[in-house]
C-alpha cells in the first residue's frame, strides 16, 4: 500500500472515529437534547439562518478582495460560482480541497490557477487568524480557567496577529511557497490595503456567525440567561471553528467543532442544551453552504459567465490577458 493510500485510510478512520464519538455522546443524551431542540422556534431558526447567510456571503467578499488585489477582478456572479461551489470541497477529508476546486473552476474564467490558489490559502489563513483572535475571550471557558487570568492573552494576540498579517511577511511567504513549488511568481505583491480590508471583513464574518450562535443559545437558555452566555456564544463559535480548521483530517472540522462549541457553551447553559445548539448550528451552516453553491452556479450559468473552457496554459503567460466572461481586465502592475 502506498503512502498516499495509508494517509487516506488514516484520515477516513480518524474522521469516522471522531464522528462516531460525537454521535454516541448525542445519542446517549438524546432525551435531554431533543427537549432543547424543541425550544428553538421557527422565527429564531430563520433569524439565526439569516445571520449565518450574512457571514457566508461576507466570507466570499473577503476572498474576492484578495483575488482582485492580485489581478483578477471578478464580478459578484462568477465570484459566487467559484467561491461557493469550491467551498463544498471542505466537506472532504483533507485540508486544501476547497482551494483546489476553486482554482479549477476559476481557470474556466481565465484566472491563473496559482493566483486563485494563493488567494484561497491567504483567505484561509486570514480567516483562521481573525477567528482565533475573536475567539480568544472564550479560551477561559474551554480550559475551565478564571477568565481574568487569560485577559492578557487578548493584548498579546493583537500585536501577534498584526505581525502575521504584515504584507511584507505575507508576500515573502507567498514567494517562497511558489518558488518551492517551482511556479512562476505573482505579477505583483499583495497590498497592505487589501490585507486590511480582508481582515476587517473576516472579523465581521465571525461577528455574524457569533450572532447566529447567540440567537440559538438564547432560545434554549430559558428566562434567566447566564451572564457569560453572550461571550460564550459570540466568541465560542469563532474559537471552535478555528480550532476545527486545524484538524485538517476532519471534513469541515466535523465533530471537533461541535464538541468544542458544546464545551464552551456549557459554562452558560446545560450540556444537552449546548449540544442542541451545536447540532442546529451545523445543520444551518451546511444547508447554507449547499444553497450558496447551488445559487452561485445557477446565477453564473444564467448570465453565461462560466461557459469558457479551461486553459491550463493560463497559469503563466496569459495571466494578464483579457480573461474569460465576467472577468474585468487585470490592473497594471504596481511600481515596486
Which range of residues forms the domain containing residue 143?
Answer: 22-305
* Residue 251: predicted pLDDT: 60
* Residue 298: predicted pLDDT: 80
Cell (9 digits) for 130:
481573525
User: Can you tell me the distance from the alpha carbon of 235 to that of 136, in angstroms, rounded to the nearest whole number?
Assistant: 7
Question: Cα–Cα distances in Å, from 297 out to 63, 183, 212, 282, 302?
Answer: 17, 29, 25, 23, 9
Residues 137/154, Cβ–Cβ less than 8 Å: yes
Q: Which residues contact 58 (CB under 8 A, 6 or more apart)?
A: 201, 202, 204, 205, 208
Closest CA relative to residue 259, chosen from 244, 248, 245, 273: 244
Answer whether 0.85 is exceeded by the pTM: no
Judge whether 312 lies within some domain: no
Cell (9 digits) for 281:
448550528
Q: Which residues contact 135 (CB under 8 A, 6 or more apart)?
A: 206, 235, 236, 237, 238, 239, 240, 241, 242
Grid cell 457571514 is found at 55
Judge whether 172 lies within some domain: yes
**Residue 114 burial by Cβ neighbours in a 10 Å radius (0-12, 13-18, 19+):** buried
Judge whether 127 lies within some domain: yes
Judge whether 329 lies within some domain: no
**pLDDT < 50 regions, the chain:** 308-314, 316-322, 329-330, 332-336
Residues 123/217, Cβ–Cβ less than 8 Å: no
* Residue 24: predicted pLDDT: 62
Judge whether 7 lies within some domain: no
Instruction: Give how many domains the chain has, as a whole number.
Output: 1
Judge whether 315 lies within some domain: no
Closest CA relative to residue 134, chosen from 225, 62, 240: 240
Amino acid at each position: 500500500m502506498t503512502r498516499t493510500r495509508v494517509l487516506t485510510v488514516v484520515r477516513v478512520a480518524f474522521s469516522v472515529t471522531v464522528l462516531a464519538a460525537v454521535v454516541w455522546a448525542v445519542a446517549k443524551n438524546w432525551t435531554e437534547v431533543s427537549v432543547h431542540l424543541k425550544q428553538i422556534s421557527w422565527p429564531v431558526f430563520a433569524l439565526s439562518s439569516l445571520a449565518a447567510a450574512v457571514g457566508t456571503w461576507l466570507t466570499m467578499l473577503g476572498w474576492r478582495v484578495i483575488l482582485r488585489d492580485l489581478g483578477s477582478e471578478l464580478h459578484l456572479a462568477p465570484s459566487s460560482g467559484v467561491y461557493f461551489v469550491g467551498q463544498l470541497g471542505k466537506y472532504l477529508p483533507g485540508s486544501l480541497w476547497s482551494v483546489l476546486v476553486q482554482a479549477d473552476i476559476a481557470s474556466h474564467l481565465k484566472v491563473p490557477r496559482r493566483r486563485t490558489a494563493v488567494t484561497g490559502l491567504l483567505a484561509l489563513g486570514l480567516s483562521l487568524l481573525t477567528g482565533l483572535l475573536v475567539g480568544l475571550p472564550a479560551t477561559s471557558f474551554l480550559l475551565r480557567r478564571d477568565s481574568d487570568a487569560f485577559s492578557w492573552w487578548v493584548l498579546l494576540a493583537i500585536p501577534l496577529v498584526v505581525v502575521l498579517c504584515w504584507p511584507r511577511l505575507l508576500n515573502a511567504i507567498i514567494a517562497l511557497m511558489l518558488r518551492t513549488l517551482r511556479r512562476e511568481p505573482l505579477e505583483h505583491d499583495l497590498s497592505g490595503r487589501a490585507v486590511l480590508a480582508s481582515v476587517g471583513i473576516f472579523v465581521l464574518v465571525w461577528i455574524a456567525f457569533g450572532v447566529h450562535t447567540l440567537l440559538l443559545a438564547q432560545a434554549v437558555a430559558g428566562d434567566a440567561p447566564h451572564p457569560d452566555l453572550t461571550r460564550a456564544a459570540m466568541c465560542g463559535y469563532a474559537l471552535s471553528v478555528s480550532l476545527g480548521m486545524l484538524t485538517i483530517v476532519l471534513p469541515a472540522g466535523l465533530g471537533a467543532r461541535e464538541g468544542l462549541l458544546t464545551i464552551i457553551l456549557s459554562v452558560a447553559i446545560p450540556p444537552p442544551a449546548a449540544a442542541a445548539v451545536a447540532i442546529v448550528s451545523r445543520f444551518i451552516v451546511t444547508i447554507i453552504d449547499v444553497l450558496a453553491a447551488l445559487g452561485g452556479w445557477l446565477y453564473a450559468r444564467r448570465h453565461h459567465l462560466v461557459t469558457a473552457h479551461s486553459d491550463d496554459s493560463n497559469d503563466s503567460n496569459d495571466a494578464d490577458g483579457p480573461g474569460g466572461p465576467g472577468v474585468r481586465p487585470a490592473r497594471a502592475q504596481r511600481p515596486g
